[in-house]
Amino acid sequence: MRVVKAEEAAQPSPQTQVEMYRVLLTARMTDERCWLLNRGGQAPFVISCQGQEGAQVGSVFALDRTQDWFAPYYRDLGVVMALGMTPEDILKSVMGRAGDPNSGGRQMPSHFSSRRLRIISQGSAVATQVLHAVGAALAARTRGESALAIAYVGEGGTSQGDFHEALNFASVHRLPVIFMVENNSYAISVPQNLQMAITDVADRASGYGMPGVVVDGQDVLEVYRVTREAADRARAGEGPTLIEAKTHRLTSHSSDDDQRVYREAGELEKEAKDDVIPRFRRQLLETGMIDDKQEKAMRSEIDAIIDAATEAAENAPYPEPEDTFLNVYSEGPPFPEDLGGGPRMREPE
Amino acid sequence: MRVVKAEEAAQPSPQTQVEMYRVLLTARMTDERCWLLNRGGQAPFVISCQGQEGAQVGSVFALDRTQDWFAPYYRDLGVVMALGMTPEDILKSVMGRAGDPNSGGRQMPSHFSSRRLRIISQGSAVATQVLHAVGAALAARTRGESALAIAYVGEGGTSQGDFHEALNFASVHRLPVIFMVENNSYAISVPQNLQMAITDVADRASGYGMPGVVVDGQDVLEVYRVTREAADRARAGEGPTLIEAKTHRLTSHSSDDDQRVYREAGELEKEAKDDVIPRFRRQLLETGMIDDKQEKAMRSEIDAIIDAATEAAENAPYPEPEDTFLNVYSEGPPFPEDLGGGPRMREPE
Amino acid sequence: MAGLGTHKTVETSAGQLTYIQAIQSALRDEMERDESVIVLGEDVGAKGGVFKVTDGLQKLYGETRVIDTPLAESSIVGVAIGAALNGLKPVAEIQFADFIHPAFNQIVSEAAKMRYRSNGDWNVPMVIRAPFGGGVHGALYHSQSVEAFFAHVPGLKVVIPSTPYDAKGLLISAIRDPDPVLFFEHKKAYRMIKGEVPEGEDYSVPIGRARIAREGRHMSVFAYGLMVHYCVAAAEQMEEEGHSVEVVDLRTVRPLDRGAIIASVEKTGKALVAYEANRTGAVGAEVAAIIAEECFDHLDGPVVRIGGPDVPAMPFSPPMEDFFLPDTERILGAMRRLAAY
Amino acid sequence: MAGLGTHKTVETSAGQLTYIQAIQSALRDEMERDESVIVLGEDVGAKGGVFKVTDGLQKLYGETRVIDTPLAESSIVGVAIGAALNGLKPVAEIQFADFIHPAFNQIVSEAAKMRYRSNGDWNVPMVIRAPFGGGVHGALYHSQSVEAFFAHVPGLKVVIPSTPYDAKGLLISAIRDPDPVLFFEHKKAYRMIKGEVPEGEDYSVPIGRARIAREGRHMSVFAYGLMVHYCVAAAEQMEEEGHSVEVVDLRTVRPLDRGAIIASVEKTGKALVAYEANRTGAVGAEVAAIIAEECFDHLDGPVVRIGGPDVPAMPFSPPMEDFFLPDTERILGAMRRLAAY
Ligand SMILES: Cc1ncc(C[n+]2csc(CCOP(=O)(O)OP(=O)(O)O)c2C)c(N)n1
Ligand SMILES: Cc1ncc(C[n+]2csc(CCOP(=O)(O)OP(=O)(O)O)c2C)c(N)n1
Ligand SMILES: [Mg+2]
Ligand SMILES: [Mg+2]
């Protein structure tokens, strides 16, 4: 595993590290709540961040949350929570409520979006967002801003043509982009060896003349450090970087999947032991940045927040059926049947 | 330029080398005739092989023309002539005659196809053929044959998602495929530095875990040698190879283009001096495989063949207008308007 | 879920199969019959597909004939085309019809035009299977009906069965067809629709022929996929109200069975088309246009279309999802108004 | 060819511009007016585009606003989407409409659905320009009419001007539109069609409104792009034969101007639709379906469609190319038969 040289500068402050841990925990506990709701029949679909929060939170904290652009994918609950999404936002979306800030209950859960937070709306087709991040970076560069864009994608998504086209475009124009591949070694049931003939996705970087970095995605501070370095390069006009975070998918692909059908029990146990949360917790306790009591207090605080969020979401209204017609185009439909119009029901006179 | 070790085995026999030269000359002289016809108003469109014949002919002779599969692109007149297409075939297609074996006058010139010669029909959308070659190789491997497939593509075509997806699929399944990139450093007017951020396309190979080879495309025997090595690897089950032949586009992109608008005169002169034909001719004269008299005789033979071919093509019939309806599906159209049917002209009764 | 998927279930079920079992049975019969048939797609191997359509096939026929591909639809189709050109009969699975778009160029520019552009020298015997349609909380990208894009493309055939019998018979025809066939399976029908399927016997259903799902005299209703069942239910209600409605299951949307469409309207004089796709520019428009062009002298009323609303796709939230999907009630309302016309 | 392309030509021409000059003039005016407008595509810079539409723009506005992209349409559109989300107004050029298919997923799954899926939070102010249509020996892949694919997609607007005045006015509206607009330019019209275009003055033509190209009383003919000119020529011949034919230039094929279509047919009682695209499942089918649904009580004859044949695309060889392309003669024949009906 190639590792770039350490830099003290790239160490978040103790208080920031505790903050990072709080986001990690909030994402994990919110995700766990979604599964509870799924079993309880209140959430038809769940797709998890569990196991990948380190790569997500570690990278966001290394960036400028006041101006940078984010194109996450469906696992990135840790990314959007680090940017300011709340458990209530998430639970409303899982329950398809009108108040879901991502889509007003239109998209499946975990299809994140927020213009305010510069989280680019994602559809379900994998890897399309990687090109959107490149375009956002192009716009920032055109206006001479120092903002960069980061795209998150799974290792399976790297097989799409759009991934190749995005890396190529960004490198030709030396755009301020970071490509963050969360390699959990599975695409639903397809293992990495059937997805690509290489061990490290980062090896693709040299084919675009950009640096490629492999980082242990379970090491939050390492992710922070390499992301910070990539960001510095990007802002200095030195172009894009491909970062591959080796990580684990601790749950089945989604609530519709059962990974025991295609994965060895041994592998699952091994990965569960490498969970980022206990690992970062240990780090914080050892360095004395937090103590056991504080950590327990933090958990119960978050629990309380999620309980309140669950109740708020449960009591939040659904969209009106007719809301189906809204926001197809900017203007109201001049031709109802054509611009977001309904099925024709009127009396043919 | 990385070059792989020489192998005596990979030297074509003197008589084969002379044969290769004849094909080079035939392709070049046929192409020149197309331009004459274009100026004469008999050929609305010409797109040339000129300058790239070395990579084309050198590679085909290194393969098994009795069983291998070929997915050429529009510059590959040298490829298809090495496989058996004749000047008459080509001139009929340039003039849109019914006898055009590639498409019966349906496609633009240089969209090559012949099931008999295992030349996969190509459309105009660049790089799609690269995936077809991978599929053909998959089929051969599935049946346990020793045949391989080779795809030809320009360096501009490598920017397409399909190029990435093809290399990835072939490498994951270790298929017997050769990817031959003819890098003439321009995609119409777009220079290589605006097409990719690297000098050698071959550097992309490592990102797929396959060998990448750069070869001087103006050196016919070098192209032959590296192609033979890639073929041996492929047939031995060691998977695909990416070969980049550095070459030159001696003409404008096509008869609709004028490259003097976007290229330096100096660059054009320099490339003209590096033409493969005089270079290979010199080689053959020096090694005594052919003498001046024989070479001149060969030229006039070919000239005569092309003259006859031109006349034959000029006298060949156009397709019937109604032929427009043929070969949409295997069966005759049961519903004329829908299965290859015509515009509805009948009297509404 | 797994249970339903295995061909065992297929063998043990007595004549009655679900829609998905019929598809599984067609796949297995054809792979058994013809070595050149291969299956490729995302998760079709070890997992047996996200809907379990290919469950068990890799165990039976091995990894060379049942291929888990990388996550890239253009390569799934492009490789299938090349394999078809070299003698195989690939059955490619696109995990959801919504994700067929990255392969659009390979399907429309390559597969559809290969025979024509080579003047009949080459052909592409390939099937592309994809689950489509809504009503399963699939939201914007797991509910789409995309058939109209392909029904416009000469060189392609587009099949959409509504019953287990047709699903098996048409998939067999599609696999044996020398040209590229898109085969769309309604995901809500997979386990909801049951029906008779002949055991063991080798039958097939011809591509390009509609089926009269229900005879009627006063009105013709054209549909395909899940909508056929809603239309039949509505027609039965209409019967009780004294109106005899004919329901025509198009089964193939390219080529459309013009003869059957025209004959039915000439008989009844009234026409309604029901479909789930976005209303504008869909297959229903072509059906209506054929009727307007061919049946003018027989028409006793406007040609009515009931389609999905013209919004990008079916939303996730239950009230909006229900609102989007045309159902028996909505179709019935349109039938009543047309009957009263 | 080069001369025609430069904006110089545009400035010196007195009121009369060719179709391509009108487009060049719109591009230059909007780039001059609004710094956020950028142009990107293959060969749009140094070469000024294969048709010279963007000729001179890079010299005027530099390489950051006029970008020669790598040869990859999905990235051209995907990058344009991202740039639009971050405040630019990209005008992407697809070199030929036939090559828009690799970008199909970015256009249909992303650009078209961005506003809807974010419930109005995001929008994509982007224009995709592409030359389309046949009659220039472009053969199968440089002659296609692909508008029907996009006219089916909620979230997109699809504009196809037939005159220089509309080409400029509609391109200006498209660039200023907050939603994604596909702008198809008929390549045969580029230099063949001339017309008045106001000098200097800042005007625009609204998207979604048809134009009556020629008033008439006995028959309504609907067309767009080059076909409009053929229809007007045929209508003039019909006039001499005593039939008054109204020609409606749709100008926008999504959204269709339903009001104008219905009003014209209610006036004339007969309808014909002429288009170059493959006949089946095209925009003409939607126009006919609207008429069949809305104008039943006013129709005095079948709704006739004249379209390109249902073969993959326009062949290269002159006899087949001529046979494919609907022309004045063929349209006239259909008009005569419909008039006699
Ligand atoms: C274009 C497209 N094809 C198929 C799918 C179905 N699908 C959803 S997620 C997924 C696997 C993604 O794997 P990876 O990129 O590794 O991300 P991970 O889920 O492992 O984090 C697939 C095949 C899709 N969403 N989009
Ligand atoms: C998908 C697609 N986009 C655009 C074009 C138009 N076009 C034809 S050739 C060409 C340049 C190809 O360059 P390269 O691949 O380097 O091949 P070369 O012509 O240099 O041999 C372009 C842009 C096309 N044919 N297909
Ligand atoms: Mg993964
Ligand atoms: Mg080139």
pLDDT digits (tens, 9 = 90+) for B140-194: 999 999 999 999 999 999 999 999 999 999 999 999 999 999 999 999 999 999 9
Same domain, C68 and C28: yes
- Tell me if D6 is assigned to some domain: no
pLDDT of B49 over the 90 cut: yes
pLDDT of A341 over the 60 cut: no
Known catalytic residue at D142: yes
pLDDT score of B332 = 66
* C60 neighbors A115 (Cβ within 8 angstroms): no
Cβ contact (<8 Å) for D309 and B325?
yes
Q: Which of these, B136, B180, B175, B176, lies nearest to B158 by C-alpha position?
A: B180
In this predicted model, what pLDDT tens digit does every residue of B308-335 receive, in sequence order? 999 999 999 999 999 999 999 998 654 4
The Cα–Cα gap between C206 and A163 comes to: 41
* CB of residue A246 inside a 6 A radius of ligand 1: no
* CB of residue A194 inside a 6 A radius of ligand 1: no
Cβ contacts of D212 within 8 Å, gap of 6 or more: D246, D247, D248, D249, D260, D264
- Tell me if D219 is assigned to some domain: yes
- Tell me if C9 is assigned to some domain: no
Q: Tell me how far the alpha carbon of residue C298 is from its chain's centroid.
A: 30
Q: What is the CATH number of the domain that holds D223?
A: 3.40.50.920
- The nearest CA of chain C is from the CA of B222 a distance in Å of 29
The Cα–Cα gap between D114 and D108 comes to: 10
pLDDT score of B285 = 97
In this predicted model, what pLDDT tens digit does every residue of C58-104 receive, in sequence order? 999 999 999 999 999 999 999 999 999 999 999 999 999 999 999 99
pLDDT score of C15 = 80
The Cα–Cα gap between C112 and B153 comes to: 22
Q: Using the 8-state DSSP alphabet, how is residue C229 labeled?
A: H
Task: Locate the chain D residue with the closest alpha carbon to B189.
Answer: D43
* D125 neighbors D84 (Cβ within 8 angstroms): yes
- Could you identify the atom of ligand 1 that is nearest to the CA of residue A126? 26
The Cα–Cα gap between A323 and A98 comes to: 9
Q: Which of these, B343, B315, B319, B322, lies nearest to B42 by C-alpha position?
A: B315
The Cα–Cα gap between A100 and A34 comes to: 14
Distance A114 CA to ligand 3 centre (A): 24
Same domain, D38 and D157: yes
- Could you identify the atom of ligand 1 that is nearest to the CA of residue A128? 1
Same domain, D34 and D126: yes
In this predicted model, what pLDDT tens digit does every residue of C264-309 receive, in sequence order? 999 999 999 999 999 999 999 999 999 999 999 999 999 999 999 9
Please name the residue whose Cα sits nearest to atom 17 of ligand 1.
A154
Cβ contact (<8 Å) for D118 and A340?
no
Distance C99 CA to ligand 1 centre (A): 10
Same domain, D45 and D152: yes
Q: State the best of B2, B165, B168, B195 to mutate against chain A, taking most chain A CBs within 10 Å.
A: B168
pLDDT band at residue C12 using 50, 70 and 90 as cut-offs: very low
pLDDT score of C199 = 83
pLDDT band at residue C6 using 50, 70 and 90 as cut-offs: very low
Nearest CB to A196; choose among B159, B168, B203: B168
Residues on chain A touching D42 (C-beta within 8 angstroms): none
Percent of chain C past pLDDT 90, that is, above it, reads: 94
Cβ contact (<8 Å) for B196 and A161?
no
pLDDT of B93 over the 70 cut: yes
Helices (H), chain B: 14-39, 53-61, 77-83, 87-94, 128-142, 161-172, 192-195, 220-235, 265-273, 276-286, 292-315
- The nearest CA of chain A is from the CA of D320 a distance in Å of 36
* CB of residue D95 inside a 6 A radius of ligand 2: yes
* CB of residue B245 inside a 6 A radius of ligand 2: no
pLDDT of C234 over the 50 cut: yes
- Tell me if C201 is assigned to some domain: no
Same domain, D189 and D260: no
In this predicted model, what pLDDT tens digit does every residue of A196-251 receive, in sequence order? 999 999 999 999 999 999 999 999 999 999 999 999 999 999 999 999 999 999 99
The Cα–Cα gap between B135 and B166 comes to: 9
pLDDT of C241 over the 50 cut: yes
Same domain, D175 and D227: no
Q: Tell me how far the alpha carbon of residue A342 is from its chain's centroid.
A: 35
Same domain, C125 and C184: yes
pLDDT of C163 over the 50 cut: yes
- The nearest CA of chain D is from the CA of B340 a distance in Å of 5
* CB of residue B33 inside a 6 A radius of ligand 2: no
Cβ atoms within 10 Å, residue B285: 14
Please name the residue whose Cα sits nearest to atom 17 of ligand 2.
B154
Q: State the best of B80, B114, B128, B132 to mutate against chain C, taking most chain C CBs within 10 Å.
A: B132
Among candidate residues D154, D173, D196, the one where a domain is terminated: D196
Cβ contact (<8 Å) for B203 and A198?
no
Residues on chain A touching D254 (C-beta within 8 angstroms): 338
Among candidate residues C196, C226, C261, the one where a domain is terminated: C196
**Which phi-psi region, left, alpha or beta, contains residue C243 (left: φ > 0; alpha: ψ -120 to 50)?**
beta
Same domain, C33 and C120: yes
pLDDT band at residue A22 using 50, 70 and 90 as cut-offs: very high
Same domain, D192 and D273: no
Same domain, C184 and C216: no
pLDDT score of B113 = 98
Cβ contact (<8 Å) for A105 and C317?
yes
- Tell me if D201 is assigned to some domain: no
pLDDT score of A337 = 52
The Cα–Cα gap between D193 and D185 comes to: 12
In this predicted model, what pLDDT tens digit does every residue of C15-32 receive, in sequence order? 899 999 999 999 999 999
Surface of D (73-112) touching C: CB under 8 A: 98, 101-102, 104-105, 108-109, 112
Among candidate residues D162, D196, D230, the one where a domain is terminated: D196
Q: Which of these, A127, A92, A128, lies nearest to A110 by C-alpha position?
A: A92
Measured between its terminal Cα atoms, the distance across chain D in Å is 47
Give residue C311's domain range. Answer: 211-339
The Cα–Cα gap between D323 and D134 comes to: 12
pLDDT score of C202 = 85
Q: Mind telling me the catalytic residues of C? A: 142
* CB of residue B249 inside a 6 A radius of ligand 2: yes
Q: What is the CATH number of the domain that holds C159?
A: 3.40.50.970
Q: Of the residues B106, B173, B262, B281, which is catalytic?
A: B262
pLDDT score of D201 = 80
Same domain, D127 and D255: no
In this predicted model, what pLDDT tens digit does every residue of A277-297 receive, in sequence order? 999 999 999 999 999 999 999
What is the interface pTM, i.e. ipTM, of the complex?
A: 0.96
**Ligand minimally distant from the alpha carbon of residue A152:** 1
pLDDT of B345 over the 60 cut: no
* CB of residue C102 inside a 6 A radius of ligand 1: yes
In this predicted model, what pLDDT tens digit does every residue of C88-97 receive, in sequence order? 999 999 999 9
**Which pLDDT tens digits describe chain D residue by residue (341 residues)?**
222 233 333 343 468 999 999 999 999 999 999 999 999 999 999 999 999 999 999 999 999 999 999 999 999 999 999 999 999 999 999 999 999 999 999 999 999 999 999 999 999 999 999 999 999 999 999 999 999 999 999 999 999 999 999 999 999 999 999 999 999 999 999 999 999 999 878 899 999 999 999 999 999 999 999 999 999 999 999 999 999 999 999 999 999 999 999 999 999 999 999 999 999 999 999 999 999 999 999 999 999 999 999 999 999 999 999 999 999 999 999 999 999 99
Residues on chain C touching D284 (C-beta within 8 angstroms): 289
Residues on chain B touching A125 (C-beta within 8 angstroms): none
Distance B319 CA to ligand 2 centre (A): 28
Nearest CB to B168; choose among A159, A209, A239: A159
- Tell me if C99 is assigned to some domain: yes
Mean pLDDT of chain A: 93
Distance B170 CA to ligand 2 centre (A): 23
Cβ contact (<8 Å) for C149 and D149?
yes
Q: Using the 8-state DSSP alphabet, how is residue B341 labeled?
A: P
- Tell me if D8 is assigned to some domain: no
The answer, for D285 touching chain C at a CB cutoff of 8 Å, is: yes
Indicate the pTM of the whole model. Answer: 0.96
How many helices and strands (H and E) does chain B possess? 11, 7
Task: Locate the chain A residue with the closest alpha carbon to D66.
Answer: A142
Task: Locate the chain A residue with the closest alpha carbon to B212.
Answer: A207
Number of domains in chain C: 2
Distance B310 CA to ligand 4 centre (A): 29
Residues on chain C touching D149 (C-beta within 8 angstroms): 149, 152
- For residue A193, what is the enclosing H or E element? helix A192-195
Please name the residue whose Cα sits nearest to atom 20 of ligand 1.
A187
Q: Mind telling me the catalytic residues of A? A: 249, 253, 262
CA angle at D289 for the pair D284 and D290, rounded to the nearest 5°: 100
Residues on chain C touching D301 (C-beta within 8 angstroms): 296
Task: Locate the chain D residue with the closest alpha carbon to B338.
Answer: D310
Surface of D (111-130) touching C: CB under 8 A: 112-113, 116-117
pLDDT of A349 over the 80 cut: no
Ranking A171-180, B40-49, B338-347, D223-232 by mean pLDDT, the lowest is B338-347
Residue A333: what are its φ and ψ, rounded to 5°?
-65, 110
- Could you identify the atom of ligand 1 that is nearest to the CA of residue A158? 15
The answer, for D29 touching chain C at a CB cutoff of 8 Å, is: no
Same domain, D41 and D182: yes
- Tell me if C93 is assigned to some domain: yes
How many cross-chain Cβ pairs, A to C, lie less than 8 Å apart?
A: 150
Task: Locate the chain A residue with the closest alpha carbon to D298.
Answer: A349
Burial of B316 (0-12, 13-18, 19+ CB in 10 A): middle
